[in-house]
Amino acid sequence: MGRGRNGGAEPSGRARELVRGAYDNHVHVNPDVIGRRVDDLELARRFGEMGLGGFTLKSHYVPTAERASVVRSAVGGVNVIGAIALNAAVGGMNALAVEIAAREGARFVWMPTVDAVNEVRRIEEGSGGRKLPLWAKLQRELKEKGLRVDPVPVVDETGAVLPETREVLRVVAEHGMVLATGHLSRDEIFAVVEAAREEGVRSIVVTHPEFPSQNLSAEDQIRLVEQGALMERCFAPAYGGKVSWEVMFENIRAVGAENSFLSTDLGQPANPPVEDGIALMADRLLEAGFSEEEVRIMAVENTRRLAERVPV
């Protein structure tokens, strides 16, 4: 890696070439209610220049399928994908919202993120001196304005998956969408993954399993992989120090590259350019001893399988 834009790291030519055709299935870009470093149209142009396949637009607050359709029309050669996150702003566990998103072409459905019971509890208990994420600051602003922002449960007090969660899972299965676990807790993740398989969901992603609010052990990740889930390895949390690179690498080795995929979770103004993230991650993996074949499986093959409606 060299020095690049804004004095940050520049991916190597080897990494750039290795990740050609990759999708980044977790980006946060403008337009958004939170300030981002790039907009979707410009990012599509940059992805085209880098030879990347496409990206999935993630918003914590609004469905993005319509935006994705506009960007695809405006910028040819890059596949931009829509999604929905089941937070309070879209009605939480709202099967109707998922149905409409699916009919508009959305591919990814995230379980609650900013409004996950697990995440809300963690933020309310205090950041422990840690810097609050941008979305947590927005959540506080909304509540200070007197707006009702309730946590979105996915299980009941006994840990059983709620009927409305199963209704959502049935819609996901019917439309062949990808289910991502969002910011659920460990026990919620296991419950939802089991229910998703029962309801016929074929593509399941465990969202950043090393993230502090998930913090899944290697043993937990192996169990989830055995149930058919794919583990997401995110650049931004590791780059920002919330996740240990070494722990992430150990978990990849434990479950196998074939059961992991790379994404960035980038778009924050202080972080590296979104289009550099997958290649920067490839450099770190190569430095850690992963083979080019393993990196390509995680960066390209598995991201394309998720994005292009090939069952995992």
Cα–Cα dist 28/206, whole Å: 18
Q: Considering all CA atoms of the chain, what is the largest pairwise distance in Å, rounded to the nearest integer?
A: 52
Q: What is the pLDDT at residue 249? A: 98
Residue 119 has, within 13 A of its CA and on its CB side, a CA count of: 26
Cα–Cα dist 203/180, whole Å: 9
Q: What is the pLDDT at residue 128? A: 46
Q: What is the pLDDT at residue 76? A: 94
3-state helix, strand, coil in the chain (%, to 5): 45, 15, 40
CB of 267 within 8 A of CB of 37?
Answer: yes
DSSP structure class, residue 19: T
Q: Mean pLDDT for each 10-residue chunk of the chain (312 residues)?
A: 59 98 98 96 98 98 97 97 97 98 98 95 68 82 88 97 98 98 98 98 98 96 98 97 97 98 96 98 98 98 89 44
Q: What is the pLDDT at residue 194? A: 98
| Paired strand residues for 30 | 39
- What is the DSSP code string of 214-229? T---HHHHHHHHHTTE
Spatial neighbors of 146 by CB under 8 A, at least 6 apart, are none
SS (H, E, C) 67-101: HHHHHHHHCCCCEEECEEECCHHHCCCCHHHHHHH
C-alpha radius of gyration, the chain, whole number? 18
DSSP structure class, residue 54: E
Q: What is the pLDDT at residue 149? A: 87
Q: What is the pLDDT at residue 96? A: 98
Strand order in the sheet with 79-81: 23-27, 54-57, 79-81
Q: What is the pLDDT at residue 8? A: 64
pTM value is 0.94
Q: What is the pLDDT at residue 135? A: 84
Q: What is the pLDDT at residue 312? A: 44
Q: What letters, b where the CB count within 10 A reaches 16 and e where it falls short, cover 277-299?
A: bbbbbbbbbbeeebeeebbbbbb
Cα–Cα dist 40/48, whole Å: 12
Cβ atoms within 10 Å, residue 200: 12
